[in-house]
Structure 1
Amino acid sequence: MRIAIAGASGRMGRMLIEAVTQSTDLKLTAALDIAGAPMLGQDATAFLGKLSGVLITDQLSALKQADCLIDFTRPEGSLEHLKACVTHGVNMVIGTTGFDDAGKAAISEAAKSVGIVFAPNMSVGVNATLKLLDMAARILNSGYDVEVFEAHHHHKVDAPSGTALKMGEVVADAWGKKLDDIAAWTRHGHTGARKPGEIGFSVVRGGDIVGDHTVYFCGVGERIEITHRSSSRAGYAEGSLRAARYLEGKKSGLFNMQTVLGL
């Protein structure tokens, strides 16, 4: 498969480029970055000490050389890339978070024309964790207070993280509820006693934390914690490649990582 990478100069972009070049069945054929990026015009794999012949560009027409684009950028950039993928018939793996309802609707509409895997977290381990959370929430469906904790590096611009939101949604769905109806997003001042059935969220931003997530089920006399910690972005990259492979041969459709992994 011919793979394009968005945000090629960034930390995640470089991790993806490295993962693609190390694979035996994928080939890097396009590397995108924003206009004015300092790495434009340079070889996409120069940071690895070798040359690929693929130059980093801000021209979306480069997508004509790819079968699938992997995108971990910002919502506004991903939506522009999405339009170009539809134009050129290129499938897309979207790991970007922070989309509003209009952005999510645009992704759903585009999936009528190209194959898309859209997930708040591409890590295989995180998606296994989501499955465990669903099981736990169905068992611990009364008498337990739920709190979703997440921590990320100080560069992250959205909060709570897309993964934390998905974890909350999994628990709410297992309880037959909508997350927006039972979420407690902030606490400040005299809040009063906690309401039964709430799902609380706690957020840390600091340093170079790649991504920590814990869901607490707090009962009387016991506490169950389900945790996933990322020590590098390699897990996100490998999951993204699995998602790209899943899309091979698909002409349309919107999928998530639970589907990709058969969960």
Structure 2
Amino acid sequence: MSHGKPATVPRSENMASKAKSKKRAREDDGGSRKRKKPSAGEQDDIDFDLEAGLNKKIALLDSFLLADHLAQKTRRFGTDLKPVELSGLDISPNAIRDTTSYQGIRNLDNLPSFLEAHVDKPEQLGQAPKQNGTPHTIIVAGAGLRAADLVRAVRKYQKKDNSIAKLFAKHIKLEESKLFLEKHRTGIAVGTPMRLNDLVESGSLKLDKLERLVVDASHIDQKKRGVMDMKDTMLPLARWLARPEFKERYTDPEKPLQLLFY
């Protein structure tokens, strides 16, 4: 009786068998293997809706994440500023109203419903303080053309004694904006950061009755850039939001100023 050596399996067949076993194991566990994180390009596809002109990620950021996002953008574009200047532009998370519970798409059509969701009495949006040039709401945009679109979006609140102020440089001279504010009761003003700052400094735009600041943060252009994604708009925005009279009121329980990111 002979005792031969056990038959050996060719290495190629053995490897193929192991590969099949691994494949069966993946199928048995539902393919629940750890997936590779999306690349930057894939993440862009998730966050950006170019057809609608929206950065959908903004709607998911709570107060702490928005404050951090602002600080990162300020430091990215403020490389020529001193550390003390940069820290002076920081906004506390406590100053930012958490709007993540708002379920609507943050486009032009839904801007009125967003405002109404964050006002105690929505009918007040159609009213204006008695003193001319003293809005209760200021909406901040990155460019004049976008600001003009926002003006049209809130046109429903305009009445005989409540004008919507266009406070941006595109086709509107500074003196024209001053004259408008001096002659009209204004409940809602829409403008760009530099023009808004200039009008406050001139005394034409008064902040005594201001109740809310709304940043048009979700809108992007075809290059996926929003108001916080360009130096020419981010730094003026940071300076506008960090005005001393605003910072004093963001967390003031007696006369609070809402800071909302749309």
Q: TM-score range by the shorter chain?
A: under 0.3
Larger Rg: 2
Higher helix proportion: 2
Higher strand proportion: 1
TM-score (norm 1): 0.28
